[in-house]
Structure 1
């Protein structure tokens, strides 16, 4: 029987790359995201290419009731989740604290912290009932250091770092693995979302060096998940070769 991976934020970037890789490795998938059209297109492609069974759930992780109802309404076979990849997350704006947009703050906190919690609450209980599982939380270098104007985004990713440690402690007795992956600069839709559709400003973030790609993170997640049963990688920080920390990037 094929294993099942549940991936949040699967409509683009790291989530989509994970879906592609796990399908290739013969996992069936539960894919979530806000854009149903993208989810259905991805599901169709993976089914055709890899003969992967895919369940799609279109909702916003910020909405607790949507998270619970979508997951609880899945057929029983889809609740045998082996791997949860908590990938849904975003940044909004890049302003000093005194100029911060309150709506941006709410969006980041509700998505990056509360959304991760809502999903993990449901799926961790499935894993406990199943007697196994692996939760992979996508953090950030912003969860390890704070950079200028990153204030609330950094705070939200510091919370992910802390929650990852807390989950590991709480779930270890149930044989459930918990891992955090903290990427540096990854060229996805991240900066475009941060700058609210300003493609030119987003592109400049990655000028002059080779950033990580979504596939690099997906391959790292696969490495972590494919370790032997007795091995858990608690915490992993991955950067482009040109990046030393959140603010030090060597550009050509």
Structure 2
């Protein structure tokens, strides 16, 4: 999904009416490292450094996010499990299911709804990092026009922890429900030691931030793309 004339016109009107996209204060907004309750479920950070920000979304059946926009950042929406649809302005619904990778350009309005009977589990890959780069257009829970949440719930079992070898980096070992885990691995390790439990491999390289193009690999054996051996990847895998 890339922004079109309708997206730009709607964003221009919202900004004229006083809407604002704020900026995250990296060392001050500590609540972003806990679980953020949502009226549609909850979300939480899986990985963060100065440029990449990865969030896991748990959307309950029949519920959905607001239709919103990130004016500054590129987003990839990848699906771990469940089924749903992502909608935009004047676009046909895009089906979302396990294995889906959807690129959403900066400035493109979008919203995702769970159309199944089980939770919809998603990962948002956001570059560059700025959680408050958000303007809500429409919402089922009266949040249109509001800023990002300021409250959180502590997750004591699998908290965000610093990664000693990488400055300004934190990550979570696994999801709160224990179904999926997160690991840092080199491309060489992924290539020579593939795992049937791997779902996605996300390259954490500054080239993806500069080019606004993050080549996310899947653990599917039909994916013939090779990981780059000199890059570091965040690997998402099934825990069982």
Shorter chain as denominator, the TM-score bin is: under 0.3
Structure richer in strand, relative to its length: 2
Greater percentage in helix: 1
Normalised TM-score (structure 2) = 0.26
TM-score (normalised: structure 1): 0.26
Q: Which has the higher contact order (CA 8 A, sep 6+)?
A: 2
